[in-house]
């Protein structure tokens, strides 16, 4: 009769082991995929430079010019007018905007100069040209 009247004790603990497993798994997934997301899918053959340094700024716009003189902002192909308006709007929102120019080494210098002229006209002060480190 006593067995019927006795109630099981309630355990007032929270088991966080599954939560910890999920958090660590997500952290590992993000650590692996973040560098892949940041890399551009547009392939260009960059020129080589002896004094290259990695950049630290996270607010930047990547302009890519392929060997057929197609211009991309990040991964979207744009015309010259779209390039100017996009950069001008981004510069208006962030005066410290950093622009990185990725150019294939086979691109005509005239194309690069016209883009640099447009960036100068907009007022971009933080401009970097991407290059591979010489080996």
Domain of 100, CATH number, reads 3.30.420.270
Residues 73 and 122 grouped into a single domain: yes
Q: Report whether 94 contacts 120 (CB < 8 A).
A: no
From the first residue on, what is the mean pLDDT of each consecutive set of 10 residues in the chain (135 residues)?
67 85 92 69 59 60 86 88 92 88 85 90 86 67
Q: Report whether 98 contacts 61 (CB < 8 A).
A: yes
Residues 25 and 91 grouped into a single domain: no
Residues 54 and 111 grouped into a single domain: yes
CA distance 27 to 45: 33
Say how many C-beta atoms besides its own lie within 10 A of residue 21's C-beta. Answer: 10
Q: Does a structural domain hold residue 43?
A: no
101: Cα within 13 Å, side-chain hemisphere: 25
The domain containing residue 119 runs over which residues? 48-133
Q: Report whether 128 contacts 44 (CB < 8 A).
A: no
Residues 79 and 113 grouped into a single domain: yes
Residue among 44, 115, 112 nearest 86 (CA): 115
User: 126 in helix, strand or coil?
Assistant: strand
Overall domain count for the chain: 2
Q: How many helices (H) and strands (E) does the chain have?
A: 4, 7
**What's the distance, Cα to Cα, between the start and end of the chain in Å?**
86
Taking the complete model, does pTM exceed 0.85, yes or no?
no
Q: How far is CA 68 from the centre of its chain?
A: 23
Q: Does a structural domain hold residue 91?
A: yes
Give residue 37's pLDDT: 64
Give residue 26's pLDDT: 93
Residues 10 and 69 grouped into a single domain: no
Give residue 7's pLDDT: 75
């Amino acid at each position: 009769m006593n067995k019927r009247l006795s109630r099981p004790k309630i355990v007032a603990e929270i088991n966080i082991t599954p939560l910890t497993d999920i958090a660590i798994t997500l952290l590992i997934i993000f650590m692996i995929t973040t560098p892949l997301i940041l890399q551009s899918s547009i392939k260009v053959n960059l020129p080589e430079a002896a004094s290259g340094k990695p950049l630290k700024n996270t607010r930047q716009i990547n302009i890519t010019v392929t060997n057929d003189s197609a211009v991309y902002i990040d991964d979207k192909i744009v015309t010259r007018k779209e390039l100017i308006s996009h950069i001008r709007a981004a510069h208006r929102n962030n005066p410290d905007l950093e622009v990185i120019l990725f150019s294939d080494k086979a691109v005509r210098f005239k194309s690069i100069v016209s883009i640099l002229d447009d960036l100068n006209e907009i007022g971009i002060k933080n401009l970097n040209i991407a290059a591979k480190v010489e080996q």
